[in-house]
Structure formats: structure tokens, C-alpha cells
Amino acid sequence: MRYMKRRRQAIGPGAERGLPSDPMDGVANLFDIGLVFIVGLIVTLFSTYRLHDLFNEESEMTIVKKSKDGEMEIITKSKRKIEALKVSKSMGQGEGQRMGVAYRMEDGSMVYVPDGSGN
């Protein structure tokens, strides 16, 4: 019996120095696992939404966001410059001239056909 009691006390970090084991030793491991999980989640989100072009200095991309209340925001990245533009209803109002027609194809792509009038 004495051997079993001594054996139980000798288990854990610091046992070789005669220190009692700390029940909070496993918390550091949980923190490390949390960091790995967060990094994996960020990498997954970037690959799912194909946002890896944000880190490429030579890429150009445009993202259009629309909020629940109908406000739109256009985010444009041109090489190293990123601009955000909030679109308001007054931007699309006014008089203008018809320049052509846009068609949506069956596969979802769009084709713009300019008018031949030249005015």
C-alpha cells in the first residue's frame, strides 16, 4: 500500500523535483488548441470566399456589399490601394443617354451590346 501512495504522488509535471502537480497545467494546452482552431477558421473563410487576392499586390478586385436596409457599398482594390464607396440613391438619379443594352445569358453571364447610333 505504501508503494501505491508514493507512486500516485510522483505522477505529474514537477514530480521529479518533489513538487505537487498543478490542476491548471492543461489550460495552456487548451489555449494553444484555440489558436490553431482560429487560424484554421480564418484560412477556411479566405479560401471559401476566394479572398486570397487581397494579399496579392498585383491583383484587382471589386466587392459589392448590400446591407439589410438596402444600402450598398462598393469596395475596390487596385494593386495596393483599397477604396470603399457608399452608394446613395442620389448617385443614380438624373438625366442621361441610353448607351446600349445588357443581356443575362442562360449560364448567368452578362453581355453588353452598345447602341450603334454613336450619339
pLDDT attached to residue 33: 92
pLDDT at 31 over 70: yes
Q: Where are the domains of the chain?
A: 1-49, 58-93
Residues 6+ apart with CB under 8 A from 84: 73, 74, 75, 76
DSSP 3-state assignment of 51? coil
Residues 6+ apart with CB under 8 A from 100: 112, 113, 114, 115
Flag whether the pTM goes above 0.85. Answer: no
Give per-residue pLDDT as tens, 45-96.
Answer: 988 887 777 778 888 888 889 888 888 899 998 888 889 999 877 776 778 8
